[in-house]
Chain A
Amino acid sequence: NAGVTQTPKFQVLKTGQSMTLQCAQDMNHNSMYWYRQDPGMGLRLIYYSASEGTTDKGEVPNGYNVSRLNKREFSLRLESAAPSQTSVYFCASSGGVVTGELFFGEGSRLTVL
């Protein structure tokens, strides 16, 4: 069972470079999310998509853009990476937010030099 798949798992960028984190889920979920995890700060929501065709800002959206390509895929783009974006990024999906059960990918560790 694949669940939620993120790529790449590791990436090193230089300041100012751009990159896209890819996420795909095979559970036919409507809602998808991007979180970042930083030491001592837990998970903070970057963007989410409640359904195909919609996206909304979360707690820390600055410096990021997202695309809900179809029901399965939700990508996160850094247009001009900054050292403050060094973090572990998690994609998650949910069949219904009321249940509170999110299914997470394994994470993508990004380092910006």
Chain B
Amino acid sequence: GDSVTQMEGPVTLSEEAFLTINCTYTATGYPSLFWYVQYPGEGLQLLLKATKADDKGSNKGFEATYRKETTSFHLEKGSVQVSDSAVYFCALIPLYTGRRALTFGSGTRLQVQP
């Protein structure tokens, strides 16, 4: 079945540090890949997405590249801010399989210290 594996957290960084959160996946069919973010006390919201191999999704300074050869979709940001502190979820949905809902990873908590 489909699955998403994320690095365990929490990830603790100082402001302006470089961020990488690893995500690998297993999927039947050809998946679209997503990163969602959950700020404290809120629901999840879409951060970025990529729908085919070698696509790069980007938003708010975050980037992730769809790597089919390594089945990965790692999230990166060059300089984190305190306001980036949140839980980040990698997710997928395989196309052309009839599946109609996203599969999420377990989430990675990011804590950014001033």
Contact = CB atoms under 8 A, between A and B. Distances in A.
Given A48-B101, A106-B41, A100 B106 contact: no
A43 B44 contact: yes
A92 B32 CA distance: 18
A102 B89 contact: no
Residue in B6, B89, B103 whose Cβ sees the most chain A Cβ within 10 Å? B103
Q: How large is the interface on B (under 10, 10 to 19, 20 to 34, 35 or more residues)?
A: 20 to 34
B101 A58 contact: yes
A40 B43 contact: no
B102 A31 contact: no
A13 B100 CA distance: 32
Interface residues of A, number: 26
Q: Is the interface of B mostly helix, strand, loop or mixed?
A: strand
A98 B95 contact: yes
Contact of A43 (B32, B34, B104): B104
Contacts, number: 59
A79 interface: no
Nearest to B93: A100
B88 to A, nearest CB: 11
B21 to A, nearest CB: 13
A100 B48 CA distance: 10
Interface in A91-113: 92, 97-98, 100-107
B93 A106 contact: no
A97 B43 contact: no
A45 interface: yes
Contacts of B100: 31, 48, 50, 56, 97
B101 A90 contact: no
A42 B41 contact: no
Given A41-B106, A100-B32, A90 B93 contact: no
Interface of A: 4, 31, 33, 35, 40-45, 48, 50, 56, 58, 90, 92, 97-98, 100-107
12 contacts: A4-B43, A42-B6, A42-B106, A43-B104, A45-B102, A48-B100, A56-B100, A92-B43, A92-B44, A97-B93, A100-B93, A104-B45
